[in-house]
Structure 1
Amino acid sequence: MNNITLDIESFSSVDISKSGVYRYAESPDFEILLFACSVDGKPVKVYDLACGEKVPDEILKALTDEKIIKHSFNASFERICLSRYLGLPPGTYLSPEGWHCDMVWAATLGLPQSLEGVGAVLGLEKQKLSEGKDLIRYFCKPCAPTQSNGGRTRNLPHHAPDKWEIFKSYNLRDVETEMEIQKRLSKFPVPDFVWEEYIIDQQINDRGVLVDMELVNQAITMDHRSREELTKAMKEFTALENPNSVQQMKEWLAENGLMTESLDKKAVAELMKNAPPELCKVLSLRQQLAKSAVKKYQAMQNAVCADNRARGLFRFYGANRTGRFSSKNIQLQNLCRNSMSDLDQARALVRSGDYDAVSMLYEDVPDTLSQLVRTAFIPPEGKLFYVADFSAIEARVIAWLAGEKWRMELFKNGGDIYCMSASQMFKVRVEKHGVNGHLRQKGKVAELACGYSGGVGALKAMGALEMGLKEEELQPLVTAWRNSNPNIVKFWWAVDKAVMKAITERTTTETHGLTFTCRSGMLFITLPSGRKLAYVKPRIGMNQFGGESVTYEGIGATKKWERIESYGPKFVENIVQAIARDILCYAMKTLRHCSIVMHIHDEVVIEADPHMSLDAVCELMGRTPPWADGLILEAAGYITPFYKKD
């Protein structure tokens, strides 16, 4: 036995879409119903566990044999569920060694991250059966008790024998579809080093991170009370039946002399600049109501396991254009920044449930709860969090690729590119954590807006006007940025030319240490790490301005499979972010002996004993990979008893 392709169907009363597979499989009523597998490409067999059949011992042994490759689509689901089936203790799981996820395989080639989606794009002969969703709803989830079903809360095989037989066929077909996908993708295997990264990702997901449930529960209670009080105050001011209604509020404001097309955060902030005091009060209450962190806290409640650790928070290859990680269960990529100077005190008050003190000291309760979301993640007793992140990673990577020497010198001498950009923008000295340090974030926005050919529109989208810049200052800022970074501008269009030539001539081109290859209906961009970015069915089309542009197929802004238009600077953005991801993965490999519990963007969070050296962690994280000779990296960090933004 060399490999197994497998798929399971299971029951649990826990909603997996809200709680994730770890909590799902921990439910007392969790049960595997069907187990379908193919050994070494032989015909698929379905073992009907719900009706008493057993999985053969040699197959069960193979599940724990790291030398036998286990294939599955979204393999973490099968691995975690089978860990419970095999009776492993709570909090321990089958080793991810030897598990290959076909969903990851598809993602490395720019394909959809669903079995149905991949089958449709590849035009497979044996595709996922469409009736599967109804069957899963019927057999795999609790049902509502009714008079007609005898008041039962679960459908078993004997309740619908015909449906059960179809369900078994559905289970079998999933494995056949996976095998056909493997066959079609066999020309483009996933490199071993990417599977090593996947293993580290799965180990981090298995480890999870501890959540302070006392804080979470009290925050949810406070949020509920705060919303009641804010809504009551809004009703008293406006006499509206539902002051949360956008339409009702817009009409009320109009009646009081304030016209607006929108009530989003930016629009309300703009209205408050010139509104009379009584309307300002109403708009302020609305802002507080809109700033509710309760969904994040509720997501924590849903996701934590019995030991209060939230697991499975990261999706490997979540962004299949770049291979970057994404979040699931608890969205970690957009946590509110904390700016409170007395974070410890606010946290202690919320944790103790002292609503009156929080309301009196901080006035804006929703904002306080939002700033405390990060602090709900804590290390176990006797340990601390060591947080380390890369400094200006994208700015460093693009400077290295483009050969922008003055930037490289700045980084070599320990300068801060965001501070320098802010200094140029506001004509004042800017120091991180020092003089005018609050302006550094604005410099960062300008760097991110202009680095990939963004213009005035990009600056506006990133909040340049709200930051104090004037409309007439934006274009000169863009022009100045491009004039001072000529090699980066050349890099954009060198990539554009290389992509165009690769697609037009179906050949291989190179520029700036990158290789562009068009073959088998795919455009591949080989990065310095050896990893490839993939674009499906590329071709040259016409853009809205009448010029030539590259298009390819992928998941677009509509979240549907469609043809997407791109050009040089956009490919550069993909390339730079992909390399930043590869550098993070290299750092995670270097730090794999440490207990990494989270990683957010370009930051890692480690739980460790207080005697660990922060300098050692930052030194290890900041090591330049062997494939990035000349790239200057820097990692900085801090130690904290709870997660926060330093």
Structure 2
Amino acid sequence: MKSLGIDLETFSSVDLTKCGVYRYASSPDFDILLFGYSVDSGEVRVVDLACGEEIPADIVAALSDDSVIKWSYNNNFERVCLSNYFGTWFEPGSWRCTMVWAAYLGLPRSLEDVGAVLGLEKQKLSEGKELIRYFCVPCKPTKANGGRMRNLPEHDREKWERFKAYNLRDVEAEMQIQQRLAKFPVPEFIWEEYRQDQEINDRGIGVDMEMVKQAIAMDGRSKAELSVAMKELTELENPNSVQQMKRWLLENGVETDSLDKKAVAAMLEGAPEPLKTVLTLRQQLAKSSVKKYQAMENAVCADSRAHGMFAFYGANRTGRYSGRIIQLQNLPQNHIPDLAQARELVKAGDFDALAMLYEDVPDTLSQLIRTAFVPQNGRKFIVADFSAIEARVLAWLAGERWVSEVFEKGGDIYCETAARMFHCRVEKHGENAELRQKGKQATLSCGYGGSVGALKAMGALEAGMTEDELQPLVDSWREANPNIVQLWWDVDRAAKECIKKRMPTETHGIRFDYQSGMMFTTLPSGRRLAYVKPRIGANRFGGESVTYMGVGGTKKWERLESYGAKFVENLVQGIARDILCHAMQTLKNCAIVGHIHDEIIIEADRRMSVEAVCEQMGRTPSWAKGLLLRADGYSCEWYQKD
């Protein structure tokens, strides 16, 4: 036996979508109902565990045999479920994920969608969702069903037989996907990165559950008090209703199409009473980030750790990770100077003191979310991140030497950018200091072809800039960075030529290949980014553009448009992702418990040095000669932004 394809159907009273597979599979009533499998891509068999059948001994032995590769779609689910079922933890080294393979090739992450895109002969059966609802989740007790909480095979034999057929078809569909993708294998080093990702998910990150419970209780009390205050001021039946609030605002002389964060902030400027108080209360009531505490409560397991927080290849355009369940990728920042005191008040459940000292309770709870993540067993957190990683990679790739020299000398890239844009000396707290902000806005907005719209999206107008100065700002940045601008055009030309002539092209060390209806760009690390069914089309201005098939903003498989600067963004973010993976591999003997974009969180022995971690993390990979990296870090007793 060389490989084993697996697909499970399971039951648990825990909500998988809210709690994640680690909590789901550790529930006391968790059970595996069906075990579909295929040995070496042979005939698919379904073991009906719910009706007393047993998994053959050689198949059970293969699960812990590292010489047998275990394949499944969303492999983490099968591995964690089987580990809990057998009471022995299966290490991820010999487990492979067909979903990762699909994502590596720019395909959708859902089995049903991949089957449709590839036009498989044996696709996932569409009735599966209804069958899963019937057998895999608790049912509502009624008189008609005898008050039962769960549907078993004997409750509907015909449905059960269809469920077994569904399980068998899933294994067949997964095998067909592998056959179709066989000419584009995933490199072994990617599987090594996947193994480490699984180890990090298995390890989990500690959560201070006492703090979480108190924060949820405080949020409930805060919202109740804010709602009462809103009702008294507005006399509305439901002040949370958008329509009722819009009507009240109109009656008080303010017309608005939206009540989102930006709109409310704009209305607050110069608003008279009682409008100002009502809008402030609206802001506080709308604070949704405290839902993170509820996500923690849902996900945390018996070991007081949240597991399975990271999706490998979650962003298949660049290969970057994405967050799951609690979503560590988008935690609110903390700016409270005395975090420790605020945190202790929450842990103690002292609502009155928190409200008196910090006034805005929802905002305070929001800023404390990070601090709910804690090291365990007397350890500490070491948090380290790359300094200006995308700006460094972009300059290195484009050969924009002056930018790299600023980093080499430890200079301030925003001051130096402003100095070149405005042809004068700019110091952070000195001469022409006011220009630094413009240099920062331009650096963050313009690197990937962004223009006036990008500056606005990055908050240029809110920062005090006027509409009239935005286009000159873009022009000045481009004039100061001619090699980055040239990179956009060179990449655009290389991509179009590759697609038109269906032959390899290369620029700035990036290779473009056309192969079997796919365009691949090979990054310096050797990893490839995939663009499915690329074509040359026309953009809205009547010029040539590249289009390809992918999952768009609507989450649907559709034709997307791209161009040189957009491809450069993919390349830079892809290289930045590879640098993070290289750093995590370098630090693989440390207990990494989390990573967010360009940051790593380590649960460390108290003797471990921050400097040693940063030195290891900041080492340039052998494939990125000339790229100067720098990692900065700090230690803390709970997770926070330094």
TM-score, length basis structure 1: 0.97
Quote the Cα distance in structure 1 between the aligned partners of 2:559 and 2:578: 27
2:594 aligns to what SS in structure 1?
strand
Letter in 1 for 2:191: W
Quote the Cα distance in structure 2 between the aligned partners of 1:602 and 1:510: 28
Q: Which residue of 1 aligns with 2:484?
A: 488
Q: Which residue of 2 aligns with 1:292?
A: 288
Is 1:68 equivalent to 2:64 in the alignment?
A: no
Quote the Cα distance in structure 1 between the aligned partners of 2:141 and 2:275: 50
CA contact (8 A) 1:23 1:304 kept: yes
1:350 aligns to what SS in structure 2?
helix
CA contact (8 A) 2:72 2:98 kept: yes
Unaligned 5+ segments in structure 1 are none
Quote the Cα distance in structure 2 between the aligned partners of 1:412 and 1:384: 31
The Cα offsets for residues 588-635 of structure 1, whole Å up to 9 and x where unpaired, read as 000000000000010000011111011110000000000000001000
Letter in 1 for 2:69: I
Letter in 1 for 2:473: L
Q: Which residue of 2 aligns with 1:245?
A: 241
Sort the Cα spacing of 1:422 and 1:430 in 2 relative to 1 into closer, same or farther, 3 A. Answer: farther
Is 1:128 equivalent to 2:116 in the alignment?
A: no
Q: RMSD across aligned C-alpha pairs, in angstroms? A: 1.7
Q: Which residue of 2 aligns with 1:537?
A: 533
Q: Which residue of 2 aligns with 1:169?
A: 165
Q: Which residue of 1 aligns with 2:211?
A: 215
Letter in 1 for 2:36: A
Aligned with residue 556 of structure 2, among 546, 556, 560: 560
Letter in 1 for 2:111: L
Quote the Cα distance in structure 2 between the aligned partners of 1:249 and 1:341: 34
Structure 1 residue 480: Cα displacement: 1.1
Counterpart mapping for 1:466-505 below 5 A:
466-505=462-501
Counterpart mapping for 1:128-167 below 5 A:
128-167=124-163
Structure 1 residue 470: Cα displacement: 1.9
Q: Which residue of 2 aligns with 1:410?
A: 406
The Cα offsets for residues 212-244 of structure 1, whole Å up to 9 and x where unpaired, read as 111111010010111111111111111111111
The Cα offsets for residues 268-327 of structure 1, whole Å up to 9 and x where unpaired, read as 111111211321111111111112333110000000001110000000000000000000
CA contact (8 A) 1:34 1:48 kept: yes
Quote the Cα distance in structure 2 between the aligned partners of 1:451 and 1:212: 40
Quote the Cα distance in structure 2 between the aligned partners of 1:289 and 1:130: 40
The Cα offsets for residues 559-599 of structure 1, whole Å up to 9 and x where unpaired, read as 10000011000000000000000000000000000000000
1:164 aligns to what SS in structure 2?
helix
2:116 aligns to what SS in structure 1?
helix
Quote the Cα distance in structure 2 between the aligned partners of 1:419 and 1:70: 53
Is 1:13 equivalent to 2:13 in the alignment?
A: yes
Letter in 2 for 1:246: V
The Cα offsets for residues 6-55 of structure 1, whole Å up to 9 and x where unpaired, read as 10110000000000000000000000000011101210011111111111
Structure 1 residue 444: Cα displacement: 4.8
Letter in 2 for 1:429: E
Structure 1 residue 414: Cα displacement: 1.3
Quote the Cα distance in structure 1 between the aligned partners of 2:65 and 2:45: 20
Q: Which residue of 1 aligns with 2:37?
A: 37
Aligned with residue 175 of structure 2, among 175, 179, 202: 179
Counterpart mapping for 1:623-638 below 5 A:
623-638=619-634
Q: Which residue of 2 aligns with 1:331?
A: 327
Structure 1 residue 249: Cα displacement: 1.2
CA contact (8 A) 1:292 1:367 kept: no
Aligned with residue 589 of structure 2, among 593, 616, 625: 593
Aligned with residue 235 of structure 1, among 231, 236, 240: 231
The Cα offsets for residues 320-342 of structure 1, whole Å up to 9 and x where unpaired, read as 00000000011111111101100
Quote the Cα distance in structure 2 between the aligned partners of 1:505 and 1:442: 42
Aligned with residue 399 of structure 1, among 387, 395, 398: 395
Letter in 1 for 2:578: D
Is 1:451 equivalent to 2:454 in the alignment?
A: no
2:288 aligns to what SS in structure 1?
coil
CA contact (8 A) 2:620 2:629 kept: yes
Aligned with residue 388 of structure 1, among 384, 388, 391: 384
Letter in 2 for 1:44: V
Quote the Cα distance in structure 2 between the aligned partners of 1:428 and 1:504: 46
Q: Which residue of 1 aligns with 2:301?
A: 305
Counterpart mapping for 1:613-632 below 5 A:
613-632=609-628
Q: Which residue of 1 aligns with 2:77?
A: 77
Sort the Cα spacing of 1:560 and 1:416 in 2 relative to 1 into closer, same or farther, 3 A. Answer: same
Aligned with residue 267 of structure 1, among 263, 266, 269: 263
Counterpart mapping for 1:567-578 below 5 A:
567-578=563-574
Letter in 2 for 1:256: N
1:632 aligns to what SS in structure 2?
coil
Quote the Cα distance in structure 2 between the aligned partners of 1:362 and 1:208: 32
CA contact (8 A) 1:211 1:300 kept: yes
The Cα offsets for residues 403-431 of structure 1, whole Å up to 9 and x where unpaired, read as 00100111111123245447789986327
Quote the Cα distance in structure 2 between the aligned partners of 1:186 and 1:19: 34
Quote the Cα distance in structure 2 between the aligned partners of 1:304 and 1:439: 47
Quote the Cα distance in structure 2 between the aligned partners of 1:323 and 1:429: 38
CA contact (8 A) 2:420 2:480 kept: no
Letter in 1 for 2:389: I
Quote the Cα distance in structure 1 between the aligned partners of 2:354 and 2:441: 33
1:97 aligns to what SS in structure 2?
helix
CA contact (8 A) 2:591 2:603 kept: yes
CA contact (8 A) 2:208 2:374 kept: yes
Letter in 2 for 1:17: T
Quote the Cα distance in structure 1 between the aligned partners of 2:435 and 2:74: 43
Quote the Cα distance in structure 2 between the aligned partners of 1:197 and 1:105: 13
Sort the Cα spacing of 1:42 and 1:435 in 2 relative to 1 into closer, same or farther, 3 A. Answer: farther
The Cα offsets for residues 146-178 of structure 1, whole Å up to 9 and x where unpaired, read as 001000000001111111111111101101111
Quote the Cα distance in structure 2 between the aligned partners of 1:640 and 1:439: 34
Q: Which residue of 2 aligns with 1:430?
A: 428
2:125 aligns to what SS in structure 1?
coil
Letter in 1 for 2:42: K
Letter in 1 for 2:593: V
Structure 1 residue 446: Cα displacement: 3.3
Quote the Cα distance in structure 2 between the aligned partners of 1:47 and 1:375: 46
Structure 1 residue 267: Cα displacement: 1.4
Unaligned 5+ segments in structure 2 are none
TM-score, length basis structure 2: 0.97
Deviates most, 334-343 or 469-478 = 469-478
Deviates most, 521-530 or 253-262 = 253-262
Deviates most, 484-493 or 421-430 = 421-430
Structure 1 residue 468: Cα displacement: 1.9
| Percent sequence identity over aligned pairs | 68
Q: Which residue of 1 aligns with 2:56?
A: 56
Letter in 2 for 1:72: S
1:228 aligns to what SS in structure 2?
helix
1:379 aligns to what SS in structure 2?
coil
Sort the Cα spacing of 1:626 and 1:87 in 2 relative to 1 into closer, same or farther, 3 A. Answer: same
Letter in 2 for 1:362: Y
Quote the Cα distance in structure 1 between the aligned partners of 2:599 and 2:289: 22
Structure 1 residue 443: Cα displacement: 5.4
Aligned with residue 318 of structure 1, among 293, 314, 324: 314
Is 1:86 equivalent to 2:82 in the alignment?
A: no
CA contact (8 A) 2:416 2:426 kept: no
Sort the Cα spacing of 1:84 and 1:519 in 2 relative to 1 into closer, same or farther, 3 A. Answer: same
Is 1:551 equivalent to 2:562 in the alignment?
A: no
Is 1:463 equivalent to 2:459 in the alignment?
A: yes
Number of residue equivalences: 640
Quote the Cα distance in structure 2 between the aligned partners of 1:437 and 1:526: 41
Quote the Cα distance in structure 2 between the aligned partners of 1:149 and 1:179: 38
